[in-house]
A and B are shown apart, each in its own frame.
Chain A
Amino acid sequence: MTVTEERTGAEVGRDRHRKEDARLITGRTMWTENLSLPGMVHLAILRSPMAHARITNLDVSPALRLPGVVEAFSGRDVADMQGSLPCVWPVTEDIVMPDYPPLAVDEVRHTGEPVAVVAARDRASAQDALEAIEIDYEPLPVVLDMEAALADDAPLVHGEKGTNRCYTWVLDSAAAGTGDDVAQAEADAEVVVRRRFIQQRLIPSFMEPRSVVVDPTGDQITVWSATQVPHILRILLSMSTGVAEHKIRVIAPDVGGGFGGKLQVTPEEFIAFAAARRFGRPVKYTESRSETMLSGHHGRDQIQDITVTARRDGTVTGISAKLLANMGAYLGIITPGTPLLGAFMYGGIYKFPAYRLECTGVFTNTTKTDAYRGAGRPEATFALERIMDELAAELDMEPMELRRRNWITHDEFPFTTSAGLTYDSGNYEAATDKAMEMFGYDDLRREQAERRASGDRIQLGIGISTYTEMCGIAPSRVLGQLRYAAGGWEAASVRMLPTGKVEVVTGTSPHGQSHETAWSQIVADQLGVDFADIEVLHGDTRTSHKGLDTYGSRSLAVGGIALVNACQKVVDKAKPIAAHLLECDPADLEFVEGQYRVKGSPGAGKTLADCALAVFTSHDLPDGVEPSLDGDATFDPENFSYPHGTHLCATEVDTETGRVTIRSYVAVDDVGKVVNPTIVEGQVHGGVAQGIAQALYEEAIYDDDGNLMTGTFVDYTLPSSADLPDFTTDRTETPATGHPLGTKGVGEAGTIASTPAVVNAVVDALRHLGVNDVRMPCTPERVWQAIRNAQGNAQEGGDRP
């Protein structure tokens, strides 16, 4: 397992096996749920079975009489200390922001909302005792549908707010001065295509259920949590509960996936925090999978009305998107902002002169939505790439040709879009050409024509997605302009140990992304030390006191640059020490391949390890030199990161059963320079799989009373190995220009790209039968229904899953 080979050149770009694996493949992993502390009690949470109701009676005392039960309390018992869960992205000045008590106090607003807590000696006793709690509800009217929720006489999710409209946010290129007017473009258009797309609700479904342990010791409180955001959790726990920030330590130990689903500060974390403070002893809460699905935040859930305007020659003149975004019943950490992460991307890789986006957030009696892999950008990319295919059909133009006619060409970078973003670099031609060749595009088009001509039961469809996205979150100034409450910088520290080993502290918080390996590769090159001699520390606010954590494909694109800068500070700091050891002038030294050498003199030099030992002893340092060899850096990007690529999907659709089979899937991504190609490929595989899952398999469904009908893995169809194809992946490499690594984010790219590629392929297989849309997920029944409807001259895809 241990990597022992000698340094043989650059680490960056190399397929290193992961450092993380040793503990993960042997079961020696530190999941939060594995933690057990002396005197610890286990929490179980009673949850509302009603989607909207007033709590008329709540008595926890019967639970207290059961064996093993230590404590029980309701929202009313902790109303003054539990805090209100924070939303840090009030996207407009007039946004409606309701209180969000971790434990409901008087009213519940979605099924699964926590109403009471039991603490007991073990999990089973706590769970049993929930049944003894007496609670009565008075049902209130439920509103689930977004358009119904906006009607004048709609039942209100938060009665005191007087409306279910959370906000309306507008970006208009004419008003902003970044482009033309969409209304004028529509008036002048030779062709106008309008479509409504439904982004179904999804459940992030990280494999490790969330778990939290809170240990109050004196006035210090340590929190272990299965979170993506330990630093953000600490500051928000402090700001919301009034416990001083320096008295809270948050640790994210090994975390089993997140995909945005653990980019949250949760009611359960706040409840455990309140319980530990109330009892003065350690508590643990681990949710069941059903609880995760019921009350962990969901993703997507938008209605998208899209209009695209064009000339007959295929030149697109404008795009307009009107969104309804389901907030759910409450606002989580970035619930309102999540759809807006895609608000700038409805133009994708294209030069659309006019741009308008209007997004209305809507409260309903459902679980809150928030970030899920891609967060807003999959929705934008889906709508854009789907309507490009619809426009191509309207113009009777080859869909790739339509894209070529409109995309930003390689020699036009940097390019400022009508949405106001400046894309630093890209090469859409290169990625597309490579993908089409690997895919065998022309041969597949020929086969498609043959199958259509022969009326084959199995029809072939070809789906295109030429995507880009904005990630590497984010320039702090831009976040400020968008009314986000925090910045987007990232921090790193590098310290040389006396024996020449290196400790690296990062403010990023990996949960599957392989930072321990990739960060080691970067540092090995920067400092000229062995890969194996580097330890990467993360996820504990005591060791990593400064950071903004992992989401939005930011860790490498932002945190990686902080790391390079910290290394550079170490190299600079050691230089006078090396010069002193070599008895020369620092100005005569250069640092090459881990050695300070006198320029032009190839003789023996001094390594950073030599300098580290000299600093440790400090017997003979130059005057005025601090006896320490370390560097801290914080990096705030000037721009987002814009990875792009071309994904092509071939589907075989059985026109008699509606069954869709992915025959081949080719992904050519351009994520700039790459630190570890194997890790990047793994991110693409997983991302593509999640995008395919939205296209074909997954949907969270509520019944008319607001009960989640897909609350387990039996009903919510996470794809298995038997459901997914092999992916053919490759890359082109167009470096980012804004920083020294040249890297772009990759975490979300596959998910953003793949959903429209698959649905375009399904629709393409059936277009000659009159089908022009199939609602996601494209289940056999929906596909079959779409064919039937088309035969009856209906225009819409099936409604039922």
Chain B
Amino acid sequence: MTTISMTVDGVRYDDDVEPRTLLVHHLRDRLGKVGTVVGCDTSNCGACTVLMDGKSVKSCTVFAVQADGTDITTVEGLAARDGEMHPVQQAFHETHALQCGYCTPGMIMSAVDLLAENPDPSDAEIREGLEGNLCRCTGYQNIIKAVREAGQAMQTATAASPEPATSDAGNGVPGQQPAATAPGGPAHTTAVGEVRT
């Protein structure tokens, strides 16, 4: 057992974990964060995507011990505490970008990261950027539209309030760029979840 500490959706958790425990199983089985789901066992589907220090990772491809000391945002922590949806969540709703909804948590988290890196992506850039998240229901077209519209909404919101937002919402809210550096130095993760800290 290894003792780890991480902040998940604004709450700090200290736990002993088996070194082999995957982050997604720690989130789901230990912390009860069942909004993040498992869709495959080969890191292809992206349903388990969360933000780790502001960058998207596939939480099935990160050991819980690798997340020690990090700040994790899941789909459950994306909306503001007053219930106001994140622009990406809102856009998914308004453009019918989900049907069964199983890929949706991961798809939304990947989209939040994509827009943080590229606030005004072309459709082709969105398609490439979400390549690591599989959806079987929508044919992707409305997902692309949702991300495009969310990007526009976030840019409009940023233009309207140039000061950093003071909202109590989680990462990725307009005007509040996700933290690019974690305590202990910059963290970077690739889309498939290779972690370099």
Q: Which residues of A contact B (CB under 8 A)?
A: 1, 17-18, 20-29, 31, 33-34, 122-124, 205-209, 254-257, 259, 288-290, 511-514, 678-679, 681-683, 685-690, 712-714, 718, 720-722, 724, 726-727
A25 with B99: in contact, given A290-B41, A722-B131 (CB under 8 Å)?
Answer: no
Segment touching A, from B63-71, B90-98, B161-169, B177-185 = B90-98
A726 with B141: in contact, given A512-B100, A690-B136 (CB under 8 Å)?
Answer: yes
Across-interface contacts of A33 in B (CB, < 8 A): 34, 37-38
**How distant is the Cα of A727 from the Cα of B127 in the complex, in angstroms?**
14
Segment touching A, from B51-59, B102-110, B152-160 = B102-110
**CB nearest to B100 among chain A residues:** A512
5 contacts between A and B (CB under 8 A): A20-B101, A257-B100, A713-B42, A721-B127, A727-B141
B173 CB within 8 Å of chain A:
no
A24 with B139: in contact, given A679-B96, A713-B45 (CB under 8 Å)?
Answer: no
Known: A289-B45, A688-B139, A726-B144. 16 other contacts (CB 8 A): A17-B93, A23-B101, A24-B98, A25-B93, A25-B101, A27-B35, A28-B35, A207-B39, A207-B45, A257-B100, A511-B100, A685-B138, A685-B140, A718-B44, A722-B130, A722-B131
Across-interface contacts of B85 in A (CB, < 8 A): 1, 25-26
The reply to whether B100 and A17 form a contact with Cβ atoms under 8 Å apart is: no
**How distant is the Cα of A727 from the Cα of B142 in the complex, in angstroms?**
10
**Residues in B111-151 with C-beta less than 8 Å from chain A:** 123, 126-128, 130-144
**How distant is the Cα of A208 from the Cα of B98 in the complex, in angstroms?**
14
B74 CB within 8 Å of chain A:
yes
**CB nearest to B106 among chain A residues:** A207
The reply to whether A720 and B131 form a contact with Cβ atoms under 8 Å apart is: yes
The reply to whether A682 and B138 form a contact with Cβ atoms under 8 Å apart is: yes
**CB nearest to B140 among chain A residues:** A721
Across-interface contacts of B140 in A (CB, < 8 A): 685, 689, 720-721, 724
**How distant is the Cα of A688 from the Cα of B123 in the complex, in angstroms?**
19
The reply to whether A25 and B138 form a contact with Cβ atoms under 8 Å apart is: no
Across-interface contacts of A31 in B (CB, < 8 A): 34, 37, 102
**How distant is the Cα of A1 from the Cα of B83 in the complex, in angstroms?**
9
The reply to whether B96 and A682 form a contact with Cβ atoms under 8 Å apart is: yes
The reply to whether B128 and A207 form a contact with Cβ atoms under 8 Å apart is: no
A24 with B94: in contact, given A208-B39, A289-B45, A722-B128 (CB under 8 Å)?
Answer: no
| Least distance between A374 CB and chain B CB atoms (Å) | 14
The reply to whether A712 and B137 form a contact with Cβ atoms under 8 Å apart is: no
Across-interface contacts of B25 in A (CB, < 8 A): 123
The reply to whether A21 and B98 form a contact with Cβ atoms under 8 Å apart is: yes
B47 CB within 8 Å of chain A:
yes
Name which of B103, B133, B135, B139 has the most chain A CB atoms within 10 A of its CB: B139
| Least distance between A95 CB and chain B CB atoms (Å) | 32
The reply to whether B75 and A207 form a contact with Cβ atoms under 8 Å apart is: no
B61 CB within 8 Å of chain A:
no
B76 CB within 8 Å of chain A:
yes
B31 CB within 8 Å of chain A:
no
B6 CB within 8 Å of chain A:
no
Across-interface contacts of B82 in A (CB, < 8 A): none
| Least distance between A757 CB and chain B CB atoms (Å) | 14
B171 CB within 8 Å of chain A:
no
**CB nearest to B95 among chain A residues:** A678
The reply to whether A512 and B139 form a contact with Cβ atoms under 8 Å apart is: no
The reply to whether B142 and A685 form a contact with Cβ atoms under 8 Å apart is: yes
Q: Contacting B136 at CB < 8 Å: which of A123, A209, A257, A726?
A: A257
Across-interface contacts of A713 in B (CB, < 8 A): 40, 42, 44-45, 134
| Least distance between B121 CB and chain A CB atoms (Å) | 12
The reply to whether B39 and A724 form a contact with Cβ atoms under 8 Å apart is: no
**CB nearest to A28 among chain B residues:** B35
The reply to whether A724 and B134 form a contact with Cβ atoms under 8 Å apart is: no
**CB nearest to A511 among chain B residues:** B100
**How distant is the Cα of A257 from the Cα of B29 in the complex, in angstroms?**
23
**How distant is the Cα of A720 from the Cα of B110 in the complex, in angstroms?**
14
The reply to whether B76 and A27 form a contact with Cβ atoms under 8 Å apart is: yes
| Least distance between A207 CB and chain B CB atoms (Å) | 4
**CB nearest to B74 among chain A residues:** A27
A721 with B42: in contact, given A256-B100, A689-B139 (CB under 8 Å)?
Answer: no
B79 CB within 8 Å of chain A:
yes
A257 with B42: in contact, given A27-B74, A718-B136 (CB under 8 Å)?
Answer: no
The reply to whether A682 and B99 form a contact with Cβ atoms under 8 Å apart is: yes
Name which of B36, B89, B96, B123 has the most chain A CB atoms within 10 A of its CB: B96
**How distant is the Cα of A713 from the Cα of B46 in the complex, in angstroms?**
11
| Least distance between B97 CB and chain A CB atoms (Å) | 9
A27 with B75: in contact, given A207-B103, A208-B39, A209-B39 (CB under 8 Å)?
Answer: yes
The reply to whether B37 and A25 form a contact with Cβ atoms under 8 Å apart is: no
A207 with B141: in contact, given A24-B104, A34-B34 (CB under 8 Å)?
Answer: no
Q: Mark each residue of chain B from 14 to 41: 1 if its CB lies under 8 Å from any CB of chain A, else 0.
A: 0000101000010011000111111111
**How distant is the Cα of A640 from the Cα of B104 in the complex, in angstroms?**
34
| Least distance between A438 CB and chain B CB atoms (Å) | 16
Across-interface contacts of B39 in A (CB, < 8 A): 207-209, 289
The reply to whether B101 and A512 form a contact with Cβ atoms under 8 Å apart is: yes
**How distant is the Cα of A215 from the Cα of B175 in the complex, in angstroms?**
48
The reply to whether B96 and A17 form a contact with Cβ atoms under 8 Å apart is: yes
A721 with B126: in contact, given A512-B137, A685-B138 (CB under 8 Å)?
Answer: yes
**How distant is the Cα of A122 from the Cα of B20 in the complex, in angstroms?**
14
**CB nearest to B123 among chain A residues:** A726
| Least distance between A257 CB and chain B CB atoms (Å) | 4
**How distant is the Cα of A687 from the Cα of B99 in the complex, in angstroms?**
12
The reply to whether B76 and A26 form a contact with Cβ atoms under 8 Å apart is: yes
**How distant is the Cα of A26 from the Cα of B9 in the complex, in angstroms?**
12
The reply to whether B99 and A686 form a contact with Cβ atoms under 8 Å apart is: yes
**How distant is the Cα of A208 from the Cα of B136 in the complex, in angstroms?**
10
**How distant is the Cα of A779 from the Cα of B72 in the complex, in angstroms?**
40
Across-interface contacts of A514 in B (CB, < 8 A): 99
**How distant is the Cα of A682 from the Cα of B140 in the complex, in angstroms?**
10
**CB nearest to B37 among chain A residues:** A31
Across-interface contacts of A721 in B (CB, < 8 A): 126-128, 130-131, 133, 135, 140, 143-144
**How distant is the Cα of A257 from the Cα of B36 in the complex, in angstroms?**
17
| Least distance between B49 CB and chain A CB atoms (Å) | 12
| Least distance between A698 CB and chain B CB atoms (Å) | 11
- 7 nearest A-B residue pairs (beta carbon): A27-B35, A256-B102, A24-B101, A512-B100, A689-B139, A713-B44, A685-B139
| Least distance between B142 CB and chain A CB atoms (Å) | 6
Across-interface contacts of A27 in B (CB, < 8 A): 33-36, 74-76, 105
The reply to whether A207 and B47 form a contact with Cβ atoms under 8 Å apart is: yes
A718 with B134: in contact, given A1-B93, A207-B45, A712-B44 (CB under 8 Å)?
Answer: yes
**How distant is the Cα of A31 from the Cα of B144 in the complex, in angstroms?**
25
**CB nearest to A754 among chain B residues:** B139
The reply to whether B76 and A25 form a contact with Cβ atoms under 8 Å apart is: no
A686 with B101: in contact, given A17-B96, A722-B127 (CB under 8 Å)?
Answer: no
The reply to whether A25 and B128 form a contact with Cβ atoms under 8 Å apart is: no
Across-interface contacts of B100 in A (CB, < 8 A): 206-208, 255-257, 511-512
A122 with B29: in contact, given A29-B35, A514-B99, A727-B141 (CB under 8 Å)?
Answer: yes
Across-interface contacts of A207 in B (CB, < 8 A): 39, 45, 47, 100, 102-103, 134-137
The reply to whether B38 and A209 form a contact with Cβ atoms under 8 Å apart is: yes
Across-interface contacts of A720 in B (CB, < 8 A): 130-134, 140
**How distant is the Cα of A34 from the Cα of B32 in the complex, in angstroms?**
9
| Least distance between A549 CB and chain B CB atoms (Å) | 15
Across-interface contacts of B133 in A (CB, < 8 A): 720-721
| Least distance between B89 CB and chain A CB atoms (Å) | 4
The reply to whether A686 and B136 form a contact with Cβ atoms under 8 Å apart is: yes
The reply to whether A256 and B141 form a contact with Cβ atoms under 8 Å apart is: no
| Least distance between A146 CB and chain B CB atoms (Å) | 28
Across-interface contacts of B38 in A (CB, < 8 A): 33, 209
Across-interface contacts of A123 in B (CB, < 8 A): 25, 29
| Least distance between B46 CB and chain A CB atoms (Å) | 9
The reply to whether B102 and A18 form a contact with Cβ atoms under 8 Å apart is: no
**CB nearest to B130 among chain A residues:** A721
**CB nearest to A291 among chain B residues:** B41
